[in-house]
Amino acid sequence: SQWQVVDQFNAPESKARVVGAVNIDLDGEPGDEIVLVDLGVEKLRILRKESGVYRSWKEVEIGEFPFLSAHVADLNGDQRPDLLLFGRGQFGILYSGQTPPALKEVASFESKLPQAYFTDSVAGDLNGDGRSDLVILDTRTNHVEILNFGAKHGLRHALNFKVFEEKTFSRSNSTGVNPREAVIADLTGDKRKDLILLCHDRVLLYPQDDGK
């Protein structure tokens, strides 16, 4: 099988620079919208499907946001997906259902880990409380830091742990930054979300316990 282009969107501005994209239901109607992160014009471009093709629907100003990645999760407990933007030391949320849609910078976070250098994040409920937690990856000291998010207290540290000691992989020919990827999903079949990390040539599974 081969990839097939079924639709195409061309930004009108010459300085457009799209660095990320996610699909998310923002309007509560059937079908997802597509959100493009355009750092060239410092906007989120939201596309909605009309008559079988995606057309520009809304634009949201984000300013000079230090974007690294985008994630979809229910961050306010209303059972609807929200858009989380992860940047260098900053976090912004676009809540679904807002009219007009607007990005809210919910928090800035400075880790207490010495020399920490965060490169990516993933969101999901890792403690079974019905709220999404934020996992951020520190590739300089090989740590994972988990943050809780609440409407009143914003982001706060929950725990951190070192994924591996450098000498553990000293005989490996693998290079690059690690842990380099994270996924939150139920792999153990117990209806609780687990944390999966990709490090060098290994997949590491951290199952969520029952809290007892």
How do residues 13-24 score in pLDDT, each as one tens digit? 999 999 999 999
Mean of all residue pLDDT scores within the chain = 86
**Predicted confidence (pLDDT) at residue 187 exceeds the cutoff of 70:** yes
- List the domain boundaries for the chain: 16-104, 109-212
Spatial distance between the Cα atoms of 160 and 147, rounded to a whole number of angstroms = 9
pLDDT greater than 80 at residue 176: no
Give the tens place of pLDDT for each residue, 75-103: 888 889 999 998 887 888 898 988 788 88
* Residue-level pLDDT at 167: 55
Report yes or no on whether pTM surpasses 0.95: no
DSSP codes, the chain: -----------SSTT--EEEEEEE--SSSSS-EEEEEETTTTEEEEEEEETTEEEEEEEEE--S--EEEEEEE--SSSSS-EEEEEETTEEEEE-TT-SS--EEEEEE---SSTT--EEEEEEE-SSSSSS-EEEEEETTTTEEEEEEEETTTEEEEEEEEE---GGGGTT----S-SS-EEEEE--SSSSS-EEEEEETTEEEEE------
| pLDDT tens string 97-153 | 887 888 887 666 778 888 888 888 888 899 988 888 889 998 888 899 998 877 666
Question: pLDDT higher for 70 or 99?
Answer: 70
**In this predicted structure, what is the pLDDT of residue 19?**
96
